[in-house]
Chains A and B, each alone.
Chain A
Amino acid sequence: MNRISKVSWQAVAHPLPKIPTGIGGFDELSHGGLPRHRTTLLKGGPGSGKTVFALQSLVNAARKRQEPGIFVAFEESTSQIIANAASFDWGLPALAKNKLFFLDAKLSPEVVQSGEFDLSGMLAILKAKKEEIGAKWIVFDGIDVLLTLLQNPVAEMREIYRIRDWLAQNDVNAAIITAKMDGAGLGIVNYGFMQFMVDCVIRFERRLEHGVALHRLEITKYRGSDFVAGEYPVSFGPSGMEVGAPEPAEIKQVASGERVSAGFERLDTMLGGGLFRGSSTLITGVPGTSKTTLAGKFAEAACRRGERTLFVSFDEGADRIARNLTSVGIQLNTHVKSGLLRMYSGRTESIGAEDHLLKLKALIREHRPRCMVIDPLSAIAKTGGLAAARAVANRFIYLAKDEKITVMVTAINEGDEPETEATDLQISTIADTWIHLSYLIRSGERNRALTIIKSRGTWHSNQVRELVLRNTGPMLADVYTAGGEVLMGTLRWEKESEERAKTMQRRAEFDHKRGELQAAEADTQVRIKALQQDLARQRAELATYSSENQARIVSSSDREKELRRIRSADPAGRASGSSGNSGKRNKKEARDAP
């Protein structure tokens, strides 16, 4: 009774102390890291990431908490390990000089074995070294390599218990043992009892999927602690390993008002200025309606803005897609070379939708894209149950939203009626924007038509537009309607020709009219000039006349004076006997000044 209550009290008040590994995602998954003062077993096949996990934990402890560590390498030589880790930005060579001690425990192939041996000597060495550098962490990497040399299961178990006892006596913050083991694996030892010995077991797995390695991790045991169950993708970046942590249950997405181009200007115009950052766009259409072209254009536009972009295609090689898109003026290869664009092509056969999602997650974590294309997303439903594929499609869209990735997915629909829309995956309800591509057959032609069925939170064009593929890229043709229909193809061309002819005619008419007006204007100008000349002449004439007249008046008055002087006549008597001219003047004067 007393004992029971004590146990339960311990369970409540003393949650298992943990020590963080500093590996992104893992500490969340394990609710805090590795068990403190305990031993953790990392198991998995070759190249599954055990060594990186162990080494990264050690490096993080040394760098972040100044805790020295010992790395015992049974499988690879120390120099190999340091060289392998050089691709990560850990500064391992510097750490190896002071904080970390690497024990090269790889037995040379020249070593001759004769009879049984044990690890008591090695553990004595490690104890001495631990005390010398004050090590808080210890890693036994690839212990299976040494144990198999014992060629005796009983001896193997004995040595494992020896290590456990050593770990119990030599208090360390955390001990990590890695071993190649897998219950189902062929040729890989199954140290079942080792899993009972340790407090935490993490299973690593590496699978090849179409030439691309997919790494996963699963916590299979964590004594005295809860943890997030299930397999999680592991990706390797410049800072080391990262685990794709589980998605939180609550949707915490921030809606962005920022617009990004959907690929080309006219489409953006139809969408009222582009797509919202972090939104999802679904493009549906039957095969051949250039869904890939639109998606490619979107990816290219993103790369041109300098945004990291991920282009995932299914059942068609990335090279082939890039090449095909070149014919419509979409250049992806330069962006692939610059590292901005990652193109990944997956096969859909024999892979479940869940696997696709894990791969997509790994790709996203690896490449960290701001824009992403999946062409076609409907491919994930090819294998496995449709219900699972639907769930995965939904989860992918939400994942993209969480990561604030602007995503464009395509889906094939079989019918040509958008309402019956395709999408077996039923993603049209969760996509923010839905562009439907179809063929319109009229006048013996099949033309591509683009419709925006919905675009959440923004104005969008309600018109059906013709999508024209040029060698300079896709474009939306000018709209001509006739009888309520948007004209396409030849009909549009005819309309365009007609419009052109009309324009030319109007231009000719205008030119003609302008000529006429110009001629009339010139004529008027000439006439104005002539009239002005007339006016000038008349003015001159008038001036001449006035001055002559004045002169005449002056001269006549002078003459009169002279006459008066000569005749000495009375000026008053002279007035009546004046000449006609002077009489006129007098009459005028009398009239003016009465």
Chain B
Amino acid sequence: MRRKKPKSSRSPPAVTTVVIMRLYIADAAPNSLKAVANLEAICKDYLGDSFKLEVIDVLEFPLRALADGILVTPSLAKLSPAPVAKIIGNLSDRSNVLSALGIKP
């Protein structure tokens, strides 16, 4: 399943721009761990090296998360390229994540 989708014809637009993301997690909460794993897989499958990911532990930096407008964990924020997008959940629904990140599967 994972290996079928990334056709060479689809990947170039995603690769040309660097995707900057922030993932907010709650330490080792189950959903947070799932989100990390799911995101890593998506990046590996679709973005190659052209992404920057910052992982923030909300339990450690709660006021920063508040300033960033984060409510639930896990949350993924795509900061660049525009438009900015926010995804909540453990990122198990891959198609939702891809469309939010602007990646065409």
Contact = CB atoms under 8 A, between A and B. Distances in A.
A113 B27 CA distance: 20
Contacts of A149: 88
Given A111-B88, A112-B86, A125-B58, A117 B75 contact: yes
A113 B62 contact: no
A117 B58 contact: no
A381 B11 CA distance: 77
Interface stretch (B2-10, B14-22, B44-52, B65-73): B65-73
B58 to A, nearest CB: 4
A443 interface: no
Most chain-A Cβ atoms within 10 A of its Cβ — which of B58, B65, B66, B85?
Answer: B66
A115 B91 contact: yes
B71 A115 contact: no
Contacts of B25: 121
Interface string A104-115: 110110111111
20 contacts: A105-B71, A113-B87, A113-B88, A113-B96, A114-B88, A114-B93, A115-B90, A117-B31, A117-B73, A117-B75, A118-B26, A120-B58, A120-B59, A120-B73, A121-B62, A121-B70, A121-B72, A121-B73, A124-B58, A132-B63
Contact of A117 (B63, B85, B88): B88
Contacts of A122: 71-73
Given A112-B99, A113-B93, 4 more contacts: A112-B86, A113-B88, A115-B34, A120-B29
Interface string A91-111: 000000000000111011011
Contacts of A116: 31, 34, 89-90, 92
A36 interface: no
A128 interface: yes
A57 to B, nearest CB: 23
Contacts of B73: 117-122
A361 B29 CA distance: 52
Interface of B: 24-27, 29, 31-32, 34-35, 38, 58-59, 62-63, 65-66, 69-75, 85-94, 96-97, 99-100
B71 A108 contact: no
Contacts of B75: 117, 121
Nearest to A127: B62
B74 A117 contact: yes
A347 B24 CA distance: 57
Contacts of A119: 72-73
B72 A117 contact: yes
B29 A112 contact: no
Interface of A: 103-105, 107-108, 110-122, 124-125, 127-129, 132, 146, 149
B90 A128 contact: no
Given A117-B90, A121-B73, A129 B63 contact: yes
Contacts of B94: 114
A120 B26 CA distance: 6
Nearest to B78: A112
A121 B24 contact: yes
A121 B26 contact: yes
Contact of B66 (A110, A114, A125, A146): A125
Given A107-B88, A111-B87, A112-B100, A128 B62 contact: yes
Contacts of B71: 103, 105, 107, 121-122, 125
A117 B70 CA distance: 12
A108 B69 CA distance: 11
A113 B100 CA distance: 10
Nearest to A146: B72
A436 B88 CA distance: 73
B89 A113 contact: yes
Nearest to B99: A112
A103 B29 CA distance: 23
Choose among B24, B72, B93, B99 the residue with the greatest number of A CB atoms under 10 Å from its CB.
B72
B65 A121 contact: yes
Given A125-B63, A128-B62, A114 B90 contact: yes
Contacts of A105: 71
A114 B42 CA distance: 13
Contacts of B96: 112-114
A143 to B, nearest CB: 12
Contacts of B72: 117-119, 121-122, 146
B54 to A, nearest CB: 15
A565 B91 CA distance: 177
A149 B87 CA distance: 13
Contacts of A129: 62-63, 66
A110 B31 contact: no
Closest CB pairs A-B (n = 10): A121-B73, A115-B92, A128-B62, A115-B89, A115-B90, A121-B58, A120-B26, A114-B93, A112-B100, A114-B96
